[in-house]
Structure 1
Amino acid sequence: MKKKNVFMYLLKWYAVILIVGITIFGAFVSYFIYERDQKNAQTAANQSAGHVADIISGKNSKLELITRDLLSNQAKVDSMHRFFEMNSEDYLNYSLHAEASTEYNYLPLRLREIYYGDETVQSIAISLVDEKQVLYSNLANKNGYLVDTVPQEENGVRLQKNLLNPATLEKMGDFYLTLRSKEFKETLSTYGEDLPVSLYILTEQGNLVFDYQMDSKDESKEVLEAELPKGTSKALETLHKDYFVKHVTLSNGYQVVTLISNHNVWFSMQNSLIFLWVGVILLDSLLIWALYKIFSKYNRQVKGILYSVEDVSNGKLHARIDESSKEGELYAISHGVNAMLDSINQYIKDIYELEIAQKDANMRALQSQINPHFYIIR
């Protein structure tokens, strides 16, 4: 029966233990990375939605103050109607006359003050129930001019507030304040530095008023637009399958939705996992190589001892173990074996010499017994 190679047996089991141990460690770290990236994705979605919601809430509060100040008394209500009814020159004369009565409210000046007070304002529109045209003001014409309908804003977030008659509290029109998209995009860039965020702003009725995707390949807008006719809840439920979703409803009814794609999270995670598992494989290989080198050196020293012992057993009594190539306990064993062989050889030599001496003594005794007989014969 062939005996096992102890060296290979130990090397195999040490390698198995190391590989299993390091692999388990790598699995734990992978799980930690998975949990961390999942948590980071949801946190980024939550924080970006919260920040955007805070911006809109702050602007909505400011919009409340603006509309309240525009129609704080009947004179200001009349001034607004005059702007729609008069040409620019007549309205200016009317405003100058009103200034003398301390009820001056030149609407173009008030509009410019709104722009100067908030650099995020992109445009302003005012529509009155009993007026066919709409007052529209933008960065190019802050004083405002009359148009047939409220223009669509392709790149901005439009907030709307009812205009109420201070005397009757009846609705007399709408005030539209459009914010630049730059502030919202900067917010997403802050929270989406590692994972691209998509932003959608909906009205209370579920109409999409603003969208922005940091990832140009993101298809969430198509999914959202396809599902919104079924209701906001249904649309969010569908998005939850492929995205980390945060939905915030504001006091004015607006809804903020931020999304982070599961695909982007997995892609980000894979980069970390690739580095981890390449490191695990390299570490396994390095440790196995180191074990092989250590065991090989040890094995060579053991074989040297065995070969020397085998030579002695085959009759080469003067064969000795080379102690210069041995280390540690193997050196002690080699030195001990060599000393033992020297002692055995010396013992054999002593026995041999003793036997020779004994034979010489016996021969001399025999010779002393034989010699007298020779003398008698003579």
Structure 2
Amino acid sequence: MIYYGIALALFTTIGTLFFSIYSYRNFQQELVLTQDYAISQTTTLFNENLNVADSISDYVSENGEHIDNIRQYLQSSPAKYASFTLDQTDRTGEYFNWPMTSQLFYIKHPNMEKLVITFFNQYSAFKAEKGNGGYKTSAKKALSNDLIYSPIVDPRIQSAVGLVGTSFKKEVLLNKFRNINNHKYLSMLIVNTDDRILYKYFGKSVTKEQRNHIKNIVSKGHLNFSPHEYLIRSSWIDDDYRIITLIPKNVSLTASLNRILPIALSGILVEVLLVVIFVFTFKSYRRQLDAIIKTTRQVSENHLNVRVSSDNLVYDDLADLSTNIDSMLDAIKRYINEVYQIKILQQETQMKALQSQINPHFMANTLEYIRMAALDIGARDLAKVVYNFAALLRGNVDNKVMSTLKQEVDLVKNYIYLYQVRFPDKLAYQIKFDPQISQIEIPRFSLQPIVENYFVHGVDFTNAMNAIEINARKIENRIVIDIIDNGHPMSEERLQEINSYFTTDEIVANSVGLRNVYLRMANYTKNFEMKIANNQYDGVTVTMFFDV
């Protein structure tokens, strides 16, 4: 019993260690995804505001009359500007009043916060905020680091004569960040090519010390952040602006420990409880089980008349097991007596036949007993595992050469299910086929070896992105079966090597199973073809074709 305790402790320790490593790596990936999503959302919003600035500058640059009107507004008194506007209207037929027009941009672009227009070599500038109608101010006061600029081009001279500056509401970006996992650890800067800061964001878990450290680096004018201290992700926008996201690396370790510690403590508690249960509950069970093992060992030493005594067995399952073993021993003794009566020349053949009768029957009975015992104690998941395993064994011992497509699919389902039980939430599969072709016959074990190849060479159970799909359909008079996975792609040389050797006698390493599938399908189906190719899911697709 002490070995069970040691094994359980070792298993719990390894499981906790594995979970710790997995949790740490998974959290690292979550942080990278957080940064990428923040960059994506910021890029989208920033591009929208770039387009706003460009659309306003395009409108102003549409003709020289707009430029002259705005200049007149900046240089003149209100009365003189009104007179100029009326004269311009009589001359062009278009009424253009810049303060009124500027407010239309706020209606069209509700996320815009500020609008600034200034011309080169001019001290005055126009500055407007939503609802205030705009006003004249000095260019020095109007221009600021948080504006996105677009040039005003005078079409009469084809040259830039001024700038349009816009800024967006910071609340829009903050609302997007609130929907991002782990945004509280995130720091973000938007800078131009001169490392001028347009916008900065600090999550609520970014400490004052970390903020001061980032601001200190920014104040030096060179944004050189150490990759040893931060997870750094950056992206350029329109070659003029750069988004930089930072997450301190010590966050990963701290957050992972916070996740792991409760589970580790729970694991230790469960381990202690289970050990106590094992010691005090199954001590008697072990003694009775040892008595059964002793009997079977005596039988293996040719004491064929020994039987298990079920009188002193307290546990019903052990009593049932001993009864089944006694029945099996009686059957074995009868079969041995029958074998000895067979002629010596037929002995080997008859023994193999006898074995093929005993083993599957005994395995099926034993597995069914285990399944029913699991159902009795409410372990339905275990019962389902035993059922699928028994179904897989029954398929293995069946001597039939052919089976239906549905039977082959069911065999594959049982096979995949056993993997899903071992690695829950890390494997997905999908099987689709036209019910009209479900009874079409193909050689047994034509699909399972291909699926098994995926589990041997392609599955990575350290992540939760493993998937396999089987798609069978009828196209005119041909059956097409695709087996698609997302394991690992092959090199073009390897694909060409495997695809070309199906019709030759050459043996390619690690491809014997595929060759056997090809030969059996080619022997029992019409015009069979088989192709292997890389797919869009970074995995491999095996396609089989044959006539019906």
TM-score for both structures, normalised by structure 2: 0.50
Q: CA deviation at 1:253?
A: 0.8
Tell me if 1:142 matches 2:139.
no
CA distance in structure 2 between the aligned counterparts of 1:194 and 1:206, rounded to whole angstroms: 24
Structure 2 gaps, min length 5? 290-309, 320-548
Q: Tell me which amino acid in the other structure corresponds to 2:32.
A: Q
Tell me if 1:164 matches 2:153.
yes
Tell me if 1:262 matches 2:264.
no
Moved more, 192-201 or 16-25: 192-201
Rg larger for: 1
2:276 alignment partner in structure 1: 289
Q: Tell me which amino acid in the other structure corresponds to 2:69.
A: S
The equivalent position to 2:106 in structure 1, one of 106, 115, 118, is 115
Q: Tell me which amino acid in the other structure corresponds to 1:87.
A: S
Q: CA deviation at 1:79?
A: 0.7
- Greater strand proportion: 2
SS at match of 1:149: helix
Q: Tell me which amino acid in the other structure corresponds to 1:17.
A: A
CA gap 1:221/1:244 in 2 versus in 1, 3 angstroms: same
Query: Is the contact made by 2:188 and 2:243 (CA closer than 8 Å) also made in structure 1?
Result: yes
1:103 alignment partner in structure 2: 94
1:124 alignment partner in structure 2: 115
Q: Which has the higher contact order (CA 8 A, sep 6+)?
A: 1
CA gap 1:328/1:50 in 2 versus in 1, 3 angstroms: closer
2:27 alignment partner in structure 1: 37
SS at match of 1:177: strand
CA gap 1:42/1:225 in 2 versus in 1, 3 angstroms: same
Moved more, 17-26 or 185-194: 185-194
Query: Is the contact made by 1:195 and 1:260 (CA closer than 8 Å) also made in structure 2?
Result: no
CA distance in structure 2 between the aligned counterparts of 1:45 and 1:20, rounded to whole angstroms: 37
Query: Is the contact made by 1:136 and 1:150 (CA closer than 8 Å) also made in structure 2?
Result: no
The equivalent position to 1:210 in structure 2, one of 165, 187, 199, is 199
Q: Tell me which amino acid in the other structure corresponds to 1:266.
A: L
SS at match of 1:142: coil
CA distance in structure 2 between the aligned counterparts of 1:153 and 1:58, rounded to whole angstroms: 20
Of all paired residues, the percent bearing the same amino acid is 14
CA distance in structure 2 between the aligned counterparts of 1:13 and 1:174, rounded to whole angstroms: 80
Q: CA deviation at 1:292?
A: 1.6
SS at match of 2:121: coil
TM-score for both structures, normalised by structure 1: 0.70
CA gap 1:171/1:299 in 2 versus in 1, 3 angstroms: closer
Moved more, 95-104 or 285-294: 95-104
CA gap 1:194/1:133 in 2 versus in 1, 3 angstroms: closer
The equivalent position to 1:133 in structure 2, one of 124, 131, 137, is 124
1:90 alignment partner in structure 2: 80
Q: Deviations over 1:312-336 (max 9, x none)?
A: xxxxxxxxxxx9997259x99xxxx
After superposition, residues 54-93 of structure 1 pair within 5 angstroms as 54-93=44-83
Query: Is the contact made by 1:196 and 1:260 (CA closer than 8 Å) also made in structure 2?
Result: yes
After superposition, residues 170-181 of structure 1 pair within 5 angstroms as 170-181=159-170
CA distance in structure 1 between the aligned counterparts of 2:212 and 2:78, rounded to whole angstroms: 45
Moved more, 278-287 or 137-146: 137-146
CA distance in structure 2 between the aligned counterparts of 1:18 and 1:194, rounded to whole angstroms: 39
Q: Deviations over 1:203-253 (max 9, x none)?
A: 110122211111251544433444354633xx13x1x22222211111151
After superposition, residues 177-192 of structure 1 pair within 5 angstroms as 177-192=166-181
After superposition, residues 229-378 of structure 1 pair within 5 angstroms as 229=220, 231-232=222-223, 235-236=224-225, 238=226, 240-251=227-238, 253-297=240-284, 327-328=314-315
Q: CA deviation at 1:200?
A: 0.8
Query: Is the contact made by 1:112 and 1:142 (CA closer than 8 Å) also made in structure 2?
Result: yes
Question: How many corresponding residue pairs?
Answer: 295
Q: Tell me which amino acid in the other structure corresponds to 2:259.
A: S
RMSD, matched Cα: 2.8
Structure 1 gaps, min length 5? 1-10, 303-322, 333-378
CA distance in structure 2 between the aligned counterparts of 1:59 and 1:230, rounded to whole angstroms: 25
SS at match of 1:103: coil
Q: CA deviation at 1:194?
A: 6.0
CA distance in structure 2 between the aligned counterparts of 1:109 and 1:140, rounded to whole angstroms: 11
CA gap 1:136/1:299 in 2 versus in 1, 3 angstroms: closer
- Greater helix proportion: 1
